[in-house]
Structure formats: C-alpha cells, structure tokens
Amino acid sequence: MDYLPIFLRLEDSHTVVVGGGAVAARKAELLVRCGACVTLVAPELGRAAGELIEKASGRIEHLPAEFSPEQLDGAVLAIAAAGSPHVNAAVAAAARARCVPVNVADEPRLSSFILPAVVDRSPVIVAVGTEGHAPVLARRLRGQLEALLPTRLGALARFAGLRRRAVHESLPPSERRPFWERIFRGPVSAAVLAGNASAAEALFAQELASSRAGGGRPRGEVYLIGAGPGDPDLLTLRALQLLQEADIILYDRLVCAGVLERARREAERVFVGKELPGSPGDEADVNAQEHIHELMARYVERGLKVVRLKGGDPFIFGRGGEEAEFLERRGIPFTVVPGITAALASAACARIPLTRRNLAGSVTLATGHRADSDALDWQALAGEKHTVVFYMSVSNMDEIVARLLAAGAPAERPAAVIERATLPGERVLRTRLADVAVRARAEHVGTPALLVIGEVAALGVGSVVRAAAEALRGVA
C-alpha cells in the first residue's frame, strides 16, 4: 500500500486550487462540499468556475493572477489543475517546499495525495482509489458500490450516533457490540432505511429495553420482495440490498436461478412453490399458503431474516397481501419491496405499449386462473379502446376467448401471447382473438406466459408503423 487512506477535516481551512477550467472547478466544488475555504488562482475563469463561485456563498475567492509560490503560504492543502504541465509542476514543487499536501490532476508522480472516487452517504463516506493507475476503474467501482448502498445509509448512521450515549449508559461494554449488530441487521435498520422514523424509534426502544433485561436475542423480520419478471438484472436495488441480508429465502417456481444467485451465499433457500401432497385443487392452494405463513413465523421466532421472494410484484396476483395481513396479525415486522410486475415487463419486452393515444386509454390486469369465474366483468373486458392482460391464462385460454367473444369482443381483435418474457427462450405470438388459443396450443406455449388482448397487441417489433396505421384508420 503506497498511500495511506485518511479522511481529512477541512472545515473553514484555507485551501488553494490553481486553474480556472472545468477540472479545477470540479476540484474546488469538492473542497467546498467539505466546508473548506478555497482560493482559486487563475488569470481567467471558465464558465463552470464562474458559475461555481456564484453558488459557493463566499466559500471561493478568485485570485486573478498567474501562479506564484507564496500563494500557498498558510494553505493546508493544494490542488494543481492548471492545464499546463509547467504550471502544475511549479505548484507541486512549491507545495513540497512548504510541506503542503498537493494533488496534481492526472499526474500521480507529482502528487503527495490522490483524490479517490467517493460514495457520499454522509456521514458515511466510502472512498475508492487505485493509486492513480486506473481512475476510470475507480469510478466504475464507485458506481457499483452506490448501487449496493442504500440512499438513507447516512440517516441510519445519524440515528445510531444520536443514541450511542444511551446505549453506553444502559449496557456493559461486552454487550454493546452485539447490540449494535442486531440494530444494523434488524428491523430498526429496515425502518430507518424505509424512512419510517417513528417505527424505528419504537423498535429501538424495545430492543434496548430487552437488552437491559437480559433478553438480547435478535428479533427476526420478513422481507416481501418482488423478484421481477425473471431477468436478475431487473431486480430493484432495494431487493438486491435485502437479498444480501437474508438468512432464509422462501421462493416459488417463478423465481429463476439467476435471481437466487444474487442473494447472500450463506442464506438457506427453501422452495415453497409445490402443492402439498394429497391436497388437490383449491384445498392444496389454501394449505400451501398456510404452510408458507407458518414457515415465516417459525423462522422469525428463531431471530432470522426471512425473504419471501416472489416473481413479479408481491401484491399483484402474488398472495403478498395475504402474507402481509398474516404478519401484521402476528406482530411480525416486515418490509415490502415492489417488483416489476409481469404485465409491464412482458409488454415492454414485446414492444407492446399497454396504453396508446386513440387505441387504448385503460388497462386491466386479470387472472385467467379461474376463467369461468363470474367475479370478472366480462362486458367491461370486452370493451373498445381497452387493453386486458391475463395472468395464469395458458390452461384456460379457450374459456377466456369464449367469454370475451360472448361479451361482444370482435373476433378480429388483436391478441398476443408473451412466453418467458426477459428469459432465454422468450417468444411473442401475435394473432387475432378468435385464433389465439388454437395458435398457442399449436405452438406448445408453456408457462410463464401472459395473454394480451386489445388493439395495442398488434404493435411491436417490425409491425409498429403498419399496425398503428391500420388501427388508426379503423378508429377514424
């Protein structure tokens, strides 16, 4: 390690930046963010530097002159970004003579310190450096870290800082570290990161009281996470963050292996997507759901973090609402993480706009699991200028088509079946409503697949201009 990574306090300190261009402006802005007072030395200023001075509320002073060594007298830090190798070398030499730490833009050999790529979640700061060898790589790593670190991580640090004294006065030294480990890996942390300050305060008070009483056992919690349509790259950042916290993952058949690979390696994976033996039909569905409820409660009682991972969004045909109600009744803390639901993802992959001016002004998401159910308003679903997306429709497509035709939908209405959206083997079949079930059978369409009914179903790759023109002519 050729450089010592340190965090230097610069509040109200005198610093000097030599240069008036865009690079110098970026360096000066970073120093101002740290509370430093900056002298910007340059005969002339570029637009970026001039605008920065206007915004800096007196923190930046422009010295309109060529560089001279005495300008560094009294400075605690200097940066050379003059755009001239000769001037930058002179700044470096003058700084070394005065024992002033100096950074020369793009010249590590002349620098006594290097500015790292920074992830700012103040007061949490992460700095990434490559000792000047690969600054682009450092910025790439910073981007990856920013994706992993919650936006409210700084709020969590401040929350803990305000309560350190109370913990110090309440617990002996041997119990403080385990206590904070429970806080940062438990429901208190989840509440702060979710922006729920009142819940976090109440949970913290409970945890501290329990620890005082000698009940320092960690408390479990549940994350109801939507895994999206299948492609692991379509997971939300929050889902990725919480998958890294999981002790147990309860997942169903719509969660692909690639998504599970993004979870913490040590987490136990438990498949809960099969029917229970000896319980056919609806009874099996009910029993299986109750079994999942009891599994969540059992793992939480052991103080574990449980992820209930579902394809799509947990609250759209995913039984997430039932699970949330169960957890609420039991007093089990839980967090809901939305996912990209299959209707939106599948249509986007097929380049089908679910709404479009003059073609479709509304969308209905419906289940095709029980197509013979009178719970659906078939007259409304068959209406004009309306898009309907049926989930779980493959086995009941004939009944869906018959119901829509009987309700007045025209046989020529466009239809599309989207199979394995975002996954290898993705396929889109376009036809008319009257033929879609026969076509799906002939093409051996399997699950997961969605059925889209409406004028927009004719749109997509290779057909957008033609289909839109035909449909608009029909409307006219």
Q: Can you tell me the distance from the alpha carbon of 305 to that of 446, in angstroms, rounded to the nearest whole number? A: 34
The Cβ of residue 182 has, within 10 Å, a number of other Cβ atoms equal to 20
End-to-end CA distance of the chain: 72
Strands (E), 153-298: 221-226, 248-251, 268-271
Which residue do the tokens 């030599």 mark?
18
Question: Which of 28, 92, 87, 83 has the alpha carbon at shortest distance from 60?
Answer: 28
- Whether the CB-CB separation of 369 and 341 falls below 8 Å is answered with no
| Residue 15, H or E segment | strand 14-18
Residue 184's nearest CA partner among 213, 214, 210, 218 is: 218
Residue 144 belongs to what H/E stretch? helix 135-148
CA atoms of 97 and 165, how far apart (whole Å): 44
Q: Which of 27, 252, 305, 313 is catalytic?
A: 252
Torsion-angle region of 108 (φ positive above 0: left; ψ -120 to 50: alpha; else: beta) = alpha
274 classed as catalytic? yes
- Residue 462 three-state SS: coil
Is the Cβ–Cβ distance between 423 and 401 less than 8 Å?
Answer: no
Residues with Cβ within 8 Å of residue 233, at least 6 apart in sequence = none
Tell me the sheet residues that pair with 171. Answer: none
Collapsed DSSP state (helix, strand, coil) of residue 464: helix
CA distance 78 to 72: 7
Note whether 236 and 217 are within 8 A (CB).
no
For residues 56-69, b (16+ Cβ closer than 10 Å) or e, as one string? beebbebeeeebee
Three-state DSSP class for residue 272: coil
CA distances, 307 to each of 250, 384, 415 (Å): 6, 41, 36
Q: Token pair of 352, please?
A: 């089908």
Distance CA 115, CA 104 (A): 10
Catalytic residue among 55, 106, 274, 372: 274
> Which helix (H) or strand (E) segment is 305 a member of?
strand 305-310
The beta-strand segments (E) located in 191-236 are 221-226
Q: What are phi and psi of 229, to 5 degrees?
A: -80, -10
Catalytic residue flag (residue 73): no
Residue 52 pairs in a beta bridge with none
Which residues belong to the active site? 252, 274
